[in-house]
Amino acid sequence: MRQVEDAEVLQAELRRLVQADVPGPDLITTAAGFDVAYDTDSDLVAGAVVVLAAPGWEVIASATVVGRAAFSYIPGLLSFRELPPLLEAWETVLPQLAAPPDLLVCDGHGIAHPRGFGLACHLGVTLDLPTIGVAKTQFVGEHSPPGPRRGERTAITLDGEPVGAALRTRDGVREVYVSVGHRTNLDSACRWVLELCPRYRLPETTRAADQLSRRTLAEARTASR
DNA sequence: GCGACAG
DNA sequence: ATCTTGTCGC
């Protein structure tokens, strides 16, 4: 399909813009979470962006969008499916803020991707803001299991190169997979993920965005009946 | 060719 | 991603 070929070409071009080993902000005061929910039996989608503030990570701003999926799920091209609704929601949430969030957290991978350009990279390059990917499952590369305690981590390597980390965010829970999206580095990314996980396995940003997108989709389904 | 494959 | 709350077990 032409759509797929075009996406692959664009992906290769945008990939050169990624900054994956630069110092990011030291202190994170605000962080944004992004997620998209999908309907089981239609192409209805709901995207959500939430902005949380330290120290309690309470939601200080949010936006949602309901639309139709324009790109099917293809491993390695997830960003082309999720970015449109996420950017639309972003444009709504940004005016609510005095300043852009210090960090953008994506549901999925950054450079830990077959061609080094996952969703977190695509979002980061598009908005030119610091982004990281926090995925619930592994996608590419190899890693040994991290120790059982919160904060322990091991490297994810792809073709011998470090591309991310398997990070334990709570004692005894399954690890999450962290990788840089844009304008930061892996050490900072892991540090921020731990800050964003004071109580659960997943970052508060991810949890809030996930809840909001799902609730929005459920309401949209009800309204269309 | 076969199997795997973020969300 | 999605079907889904309380409940069994460490």
In this model, does residue A225 exceed pLDDT 80?
Answer: no
How long is the CA A84 to C1' B5 vector, in angstroms?
22
Q: How far is CA A51 from the centre of its chain?
A: 13
In this model, does residue A54 exceed pLDDT 70?
Answer: yes
List the nucleotides on chain C closer than 7 A to a protein CB: 1-3
Phi then psi for residue A156, to 5 deg, are: -100, 120
Please compute the mean of the pLDDT values over residues A73-96 and round it to a whole number: 98
Taking the CA atoms of A127, A81, A135 and A206 in sequence, report the sign of the dihedral they define. positive
Chain mean pLDDT for chain A: 96
- Which protein residue has its CA closest to C1' of C3? A40
Q: Judge whether A202 and A176 are in contact, CB under 8 Å.
A: yes
How long is the CA A206 to C1' B6 vector, in angstroms?
14
How many helices (DSSP H) and strands (DSSP E) are in chain A? 5, 8
List the nucleotides on chain B closer than 7 A to a protein CB: 5-7
Scanning every strand, the nucleotide with its C1' closest to A72's CA turns out to be B7
Please compute the mean of the pLDDT values over residues A11-16 and round it to a whole number: 98
Q: Using 50, 70 and 90 to split pLDDT, how confident is the model at A217?
A: very high
- DSSP 8-state secondary structure symbol assigned to residue A160: T
How long is the CA A160 to C1' C9 vector, in angstroms?
40
Please compute the mean of the pLDDT values over residues A183-195 and round it to a whole number: 98
Domains of chain A in start order, with CATH, are 2-223 (3.30.2170.10)
Please compute the mean of the pLDDT values over residues A199-209 and round it to a whole number: 96
